[in-house]
Amino acid sequence: MAGGMVFFSLSLEWLRHSSRVVFGARDHHWAGVAAEGLGALAVLGMALYCAFFWALWASWVRLVARPCPRKLFEGNWQQSTWESLRCSGLAALGWVACEFLRAHALWGGFGWNGLGVAFHQQSVLAQGAEWVGVHGLAALPVLVAGAGLNALRRQWAIWRGQGSCRTRLDFTLALCLLLGVALLGLWRLREPSGETLNRVRAVLVQPQIDQVDLWSGRLAPQQYERLAQWTRLYGERRGTLPGVDLVLWPENALPLPLEADGRPHDLPWHPEYFDGLLRQGDFALMFGTEVEGARVGESHVAAAFMRGSFAGRQVRHKVHLVPFGEYLPMREWWPFSLLRGILPGDFTHGRSTQPLQFEQTAGPVGLIPLICFEDGDGALARRFVRPEPQILVNLTNDGWFLQSAEPEVHLAQAKFRAIELRRPLLRATNTGVTCMVDSRGRVLSRLGQAGQALRVEGCLPVEVELGRREAGLTFYARWGDAMAWSCLVLFFGGWLIGKRVLFGITKD
pLDDT of 503 above 60: no
Give one DSSP letter per residue of 134-198, joined into a string: HHHHTHHHHHHHHHHHHHHHHHHHHHTTS------HHHHHHHHHHHHHHHHHHHHHHS---SEEE
What would the pLDDT profile of 395-405 be if each residue is shown by its tens digit? 999 988 988 99
Q: Do residues 27 and 111 both lie within one domain?
A: yes
Instruction: Indicate the DSSP class of residue 114.
Output: -
Please state, rounded to an integer, the average pLDDT across all residues of the chain. Answer: 90
Q: Is residue 183 located within the same domain as residue 207?
A: no
Other C-beta atoms closer than 10 Å to the C-beta of 443 total 18
CB atoms closer than 10 angstroms to residue 215: 13
Give the whole-angstrom CA distance, residue 473 versus residue 471: 7
Q: How far apart are CA 169 and CA 150, in angstroms?
A: 11
| Residue 324, domain member (yes or no) | yes
Does a structural domain hold residue 72?
A: yes
Task: Decide: 401 and 150 in contact? Cβ < 8 Å.
Answer: no
Has 68 been annotated as catalytic?
no
Residue 82 inside a domain? The answer is: yes
Judgement on whether residues 430 and 493 belong to the same structural domain of the protein: no
Residue 129 shares a structural domain with residue 258: no
C-alpha closest to that of 302 among 312, 289, 319: 289
Of 83, 99, 130, 251, which is the active-site residue?
251
Lowest mean per-residue pLDDT among 170-179, 262-271, 388-397: 262-271
3-class SS shares of the chain: helix, strand, coil, % to 5: 50, 15, 35
Identity of the amino acid at 7: F
Q: Are residues 156 and 267 in the same domain?
A: no
372 catalytic? Reply is yes
Chain centroid to CA 52: 21
Concerning whether 318 is annotated as a catalytic residue, the answer is yes
Residue 283 has pLDDT above 60, yes or no: yes
- The per-residue pLDDT for 132 is 96
Q: Which of 98, 372, 435, 459 is catalytic?
A: 372
Whether 104 and 224 share a structural domain: no
Calpha distance 83→153 (Å, rounded): 13
Q: Give the pLDDT confidence score for residue 241 in this predicted structure.
A: 63
Kindly state the average pLDDT of the residues 320-335.
82
Pairing of strands 458-467, 443-446: unpaired
What is the structure's pLDDT at 460? Answer: 95
Phi, psi of 484 (to 5 degrees): -65, -40
The catalytic residue among 130, 165, 318, 374 is 318
> Do 412 and 323 fall within a single domain?
yes
Q: What DSSP state is assigned to residue 241?
A: B
Per-residue pLDDT, averaged over 75-83, amounts to 90
214 and 181 within one domain: no
DSSP letter at 471 equals G
pLDDT one-digit tens code per residue, 446-497: 998 765 556 788 999 999 999 888 888 999 999 999 999 999 999 988 877 6
When pLDDT is cut at 50, 70 and 90, the band that residue 295 belongs to is confident
Say what the pTM is. 0.92
Q: Which domain holds residue 133?
A: 2-192+482-503
Same structural domain for residues 235 and 90?
Answer: no
Sign of CA dihedral 242, 245, 251, 252: positive
Residues 490 and 387 both lie in one domain:
no
- State whether 86 and 225 are in the same domain: no
Q: What is the pLDDT of residue 505?
A: 58
Gap between the Cα atoms of 104 and 86, Å rounded: 27
Number of domains comprising the chain? 2
Is residue 186 in some structural domain? yes
Per-position DSSP letters for 281-343, written without gaps between them: SS-EEEEEEEEE-SSTT-EEEEEEEEES-STT-EEEE-SSPPBTTTB-TTTTSTTGGGGTTT-
Q: Which helix (H) or strand (E) is 109 found in, with range? A: none
**What local confidence, expressed as pLDDT, does residue 300 receive?**
94
Q: What is the pLDDT of residue 335?
A: 75
- Report yes or no on 474 lying in a domain: no
More confident residue, 288 or 75: 288
The CATH number for 370's domain is: 3.60.110.10
| Residue 472 is assigned to a structural domain of this protein | no
pLDDT given at position 506: 54
Residue 49 lies in a domain: yes
pLDDT tens digits along 124-175: 999 999 999 999 999 999 999 999 999 999 999 888 888 888 888 999 999 9
- Whether 151 and 257 map to the same domain: the answer is no
Question: Could you tell me if residue 297 is inside a domain?
Answer: yes
